Amino acid sequence: MAMLFRGFAVQITLAIMNPAEPRYDINGEEPRLAGQRLVAFFLEHFYEGRQITNQVNVAHLCFGEQWYRLYFECATVFWRKSERPGLAENSGLEYGLLLNDLSGMASVVGQTVERVTYAATESGDVRVNFAFANGKGLQFSYDCASDSTLLDG
């Protein structure tokens, strides 16, 4: 729709949102990763007793010299610039964090990102998909009801 105000043409774009489309928010600055090479990859797991209850508490991804943390809450994807992760320090065996260095995962580490896509459900579940130039990918799927994230890749 174009409008004329005192001799100036102003273009106004009306965005029509699909109310049936689930919504999610990105908290933090989303990095522009298309064309970037993944050089290191760590997962931070959360365990309770002898069981891992959250496969991906935080994903640590390094592109070039820059590290990023990727994590989730209901209907929210968090991106943070960070440093290389250090070992998790826990105070007991009942629960805690485990750091898993997956930098040897040649299917994605050393590969170039083609695109990153996001999806959500009405219940607050969110998904982030990384597609790499070699045809491989990583999919982080957050389940709002269980407050946990799984990785397929």
Q: What is the spatial distance between Cα 31 and Cα 80, in angstroms, rounded to a whole number?
A: 9
Q: What is the spatial distance between Cα 136 and Cα 23, in angstroms, rounded to a whole number?
A: 27
Which is nearest to 80 in space by CA: 95, 59, 107? 59
| pLDDT interval class at 19 (50, 70, 90) | low
Q: With 70 as the cut, is the pLDDT of residue 58 above it?
A: yes
Mean pLDDT of all residues belonging to the chain = 89
Q: With 90 as the cut, is the pLDDT of residue 9 above it?
A: no
Q: With 50 as the cut, is the pLDDT of residue 128 above it?
A: yes
Phi-psi region of 27 (alpha: psi -120 to 50; beta: other; left: phi over 0): beta
Could you identify the residue written with the tokens 């064309």?
A: 35
Q: What is the spatial distance between Cα 37 and Cα 35, in angstroms, rounded to a whole number?
A: 7
Q: With 80 as the cut, is the pLDDT of residue 11 above it?
A: no
Q: With pLDDT > 90 as the criterion, what percentage of the chain qualifies? A: 79
Kind plus residue range of the DSSP H or E element containing 122 = none
